[in-house]
């Protein structure tokens, strides 16, 4: 690789594919160092604008979203659940069908275990993390061929129905100074540590870390929602019947309750799950609301399931919140990545057959790479006191255009007719050439993000002298801490060069 010429090669494509935002990232929170802070309490009868920073400036491009997302995260941590720390020392082993994750911090050690089997074959195997069981409250048959990973949340924070927190176990004992946190910070922290562990065994057991889903129902539906929102490695979040404190916005729930319904709202939820201080908050003064908790998932995928026959779930509120959140995906041009199905007529946490089909569509499209229609927006009907068609009254802001844009340098997307390889990621053009996957590459200060590379691919970065300065995974990662021109080459697991692109590292 000596004497690299910094000109990317371009050949004719079989088909043109528009660049789309990544479906997941290789780190828990890309924006943790962006300096985002929580907003102040002030009266706002509408759902807050997800496209406005706390200083009043607007989100005007896709790359702005990471910082705005972290402002929302800061709001939720300050006013609802407490902070979610990222530990520096996590290790993992898989033996006898059990994953053991060991976390060390400040001289303390904590372990989290999960028992599951690895499907046969070489994979790569997608992953479903279920709250309490391998697939939550959904049928395991929906996730055939997946690694089905149960999150046993009592290891991290014990479930409490009466709001009494046990601070002598798990997360609270490990950290010691976070007893005022809500369990949803602890539980989402625990799911992230499982993902840390899965990443460490992924190569050995052929796990596909670009295809991770989380799911749960009821209080565990909230758990799945917080886990997916707070960890950008999650590809698909499935929030089933999460109700108040989940997909429902506090403002729309307060309004719904004012019309005589008995639903979960800010002053009658569980204050072990949330911070005790949340109980005294005025929902109309929060700088955020739960349409923005949902929006933290963007540009990744989410589907919410409801059950309007259960008054306590408050699905009118959930519907309005989902509709408001959808505007974020609409701004990015990826509305097919957010859906909801409020079909009723079934028991709590027992999905209707139509809802099972809705989930299957999202699983097929985003975790199995199959063609599927995910334009799924099933309104709640026949609920007590429902008034759903005025959701637009809650929005007094405009939706901008925030398209995802790749770096402008062309890429090698098709090899010439003399190329002879055997690689399942490569298809024939039918005219003597072979078509390589359409791969997107997006470069920001300090990071390179790759979208569309097959599992097992690597990204090699070369300096101007032809030296390899970094080798990254299929989704990219941190750039080396040096300014200058680099050559990024994406190679398949079989060693086939899939893409060559010259980039400029502007530093940090």
Q: Which residues are catalytic?
A: 218, 348
Cβ neighbours of residue 176 under 8 Å, at least 6 residues apart? 108
DSSP 380-435: --S-TT---TTGGGG--S----------SS----EE-TT-----TT-EE-SSS-EE
Tell how strand 125-131 and strand 207-217 pair up: parallel
Helix (H) or strand (E) holding 22: none
CA–CA separation, 235 and 224 (whole Å): 12
| Residues sharing a CB contact under 8 Å with residue 294, sequence separation 6 or more, in sequence order | 225, 229, 247, 302, 304, 321, 322, 325, 338
CA torsion sign for 131, 136, 142, 148 is: positive
Return the structure tokens found at 139. Answer: 């049928």
What distance in Å separates the CA atoms of residue 291 and residue 294, rounded to the nearest whole number?
Answer: 5
Token digits for 389? 């068609």
Asked if 125 contacts 208 with a C-beta cutoff of 8 angstroms, the reply is yes
Identify whether the C-beta of residue 213 lies closer than 8 Å to the C-beta of residue 236.
Answer: yes
The string over 222-238, giving b where at least 16 C-beta atoms fall within 10 Å of a residue's C-beta and e elsewhere, is bbbbbbbbbbbbbbbbb
Residue pair 84/189 in contact (Cβ under 8 Å)? The answer is yes
Note whether 28 and 192 are within 8 A (CB). Answer: yes
Name residues whose C-beta falls within 8 Å of residue 470's C-beta, 6 or more positions apart in sequence: 460, 461, 477, 479, 480
Residue pair 382/308 in contact by the 8 Å Cβ criterion: yes
Look at residue 213 and give its three-state secondary structure: strand
Query: Is residue 90 a contact partner of residue 102, using CB atoms and an 8 Å limit?
Result: yes
Q: Count CB-CB contacts under 10 A for residue 376.
A: 19
């Amino acid at each position: 690789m000596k004497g690299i010429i910094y000109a990317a090669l371009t050949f004719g494509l079989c088909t043109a594919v528009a660049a789309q935002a990544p479906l997941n990232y290789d780190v828990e929170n890309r924006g943790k160092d962006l300096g985002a802070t929580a907003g102040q309490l002030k009266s706002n009868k509408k759902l807050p604008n997800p496209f406005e920073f706390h200083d009043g400036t607007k989100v005007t491009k896709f790359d702005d979203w990471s910082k705005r997302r972290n402002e929302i995260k800061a709001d939720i941590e300050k006013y609802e659940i407490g902070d979610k720390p990222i530990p520096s020392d996590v290790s993992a082993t898989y033996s006898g069908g059990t994953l053991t994750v060991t976390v060390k911090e400040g001289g303390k050690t904590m372990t989290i275990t999960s028992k599951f089997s690895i499907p046969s074959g070489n994979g790569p195997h997608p992953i479903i993390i279920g709250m309490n069981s391998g697939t939550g409250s959904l049928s395991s048959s929906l996730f055939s061929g997946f690694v089905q990973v149960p999150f046993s949340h009592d290891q991290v924070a014990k479930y409490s129905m009466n709001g009494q927190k046990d601070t002598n176990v798990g997360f609270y004992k490990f950290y010691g100074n976070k007893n005022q946190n809500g369990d949803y910070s602890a539980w989402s922290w625990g799911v992230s540590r499982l993902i840390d562990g899965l990443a460490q065994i992924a190569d050995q057991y052929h796990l596909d870390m670009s295809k991770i889903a989380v799911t749960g129902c009821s209080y565990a539906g909230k758990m799945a929602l917080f886990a997916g929102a707070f960890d950008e490695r999650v590809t698909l979040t499935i929030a089933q019947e999460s109700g108040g404190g989940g997909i429902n916005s506090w403002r729309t729930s307060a309004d719904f309750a004012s019309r005589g319904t008995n639903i979960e709202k800010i002053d009658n939820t569980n204050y072990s799950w949330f911070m005790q201080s949340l109980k005294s908050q005025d929902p109309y003064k929060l700088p955020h609301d739960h349409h923005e908790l949902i929006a933290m998932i963007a540009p990744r995928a989410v589907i919410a399931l409801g059950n309007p026959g259960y008054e306590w779930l408050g699905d009118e509120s959930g519907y309005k919140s989902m509709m408001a959140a959808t505007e974020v995906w609409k701004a990015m041009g990826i509305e097919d990545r957010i859906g909801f199905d409020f079909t009723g007529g079934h028991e709590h946490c027992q999905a209707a057959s139509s809802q099972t089909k809705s989930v299957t569509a999202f699983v097929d499209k985003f975790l199995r790479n199959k063609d599927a229609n995910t334009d799924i927006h099933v309104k709640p009907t026949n609920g007590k006191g429902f008034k759903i068609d005025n959701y637009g009254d809650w929005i007094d802001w405009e939706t901008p255009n925030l398209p995802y844009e790749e770096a402008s340098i062309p890429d090698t997307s098709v090899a010439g007719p003399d190329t002879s390889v055997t690689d399942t990621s490569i298809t024939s053009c039918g005219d003597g050439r072979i078509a390589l996957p359409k791969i997107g590459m997006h470069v920001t200060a300090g990071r390179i993000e790759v979208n569309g590379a097959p599992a097992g691919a690597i990204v090699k970065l070369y300096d101007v002298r032809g030296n390899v300065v970094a080798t990254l995974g299929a989704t990219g990662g941190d750039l080396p801490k040096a300014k200058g021109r680099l050559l990024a080459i994406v190679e398949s697991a079989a060693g086939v060069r899939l893409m060559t692109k010259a980039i400029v590292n502007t530093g940090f």
